[in-house]
Amino acid sequence: MRRNELSIIRFKYMYLSTWLRRPKSSEESWAYSFVRWDNTSYVTSGAEELDKNQIGEEIGSVKTYSTDDTGYDMLDPYEENFSNEFPVGTTYYKINGVDTNEAIAVEIGDGSFIKAVNSEIWMENNS
């Protein structure tokens, strides 16, 4: 029995390592860059830059990052604070005078910020 278990484990390891090294197909690419916060996706593709005086309080940060969309489930509550563009630790902020249901700010480094727009609003304006 022990020998069969080892064979199964070896097979699974070989299959998994081969699958992870496979080339990506065009179907596995994201439609747009985004961050996810408070059960909402915010598009960052082509985002406008914001001045520091427009930035409000910190509201969250990226906890999970991936460029592979094959295993992503946006309805999964564990997929909160996710990004397909920004690394773990990237911070989200409120934008002064803007409802977070519309847009949030994303710090892109060196004190620079961009406006991430609610994906539903973005789709209405870009379809």
Domains of the chain and any CATH numbers: 32-125 (2.170.150)
- Residue 31, pLDDT above cutoff 70: yes
Q: How buried is 102 (Cβ within 10 angstroms: 0-12 exposed, 13-18 middle, 19+ buried)? A: middle
Q: If you average pLDDT over residues 98-120, what whole number do you get?
A: 94
Measured distance CA(55)–CA(113) in Å, rounded: 8
Predicted local distance difference test score (pLDDT) of residue 20: 41
Asked whether the whole model's pTM tops 0.85, one would answer: no
The strand pair at 64-65 and 34-37 is best described as unpaired
The per-residue pLDDT for range 65-78, each reduced to its tens digit, is 877 665 555 555 44
- Residue 90, pLDDT above cutoff 70: yes
Q: What percent of the chain has pLDDT over 90?
A: 41
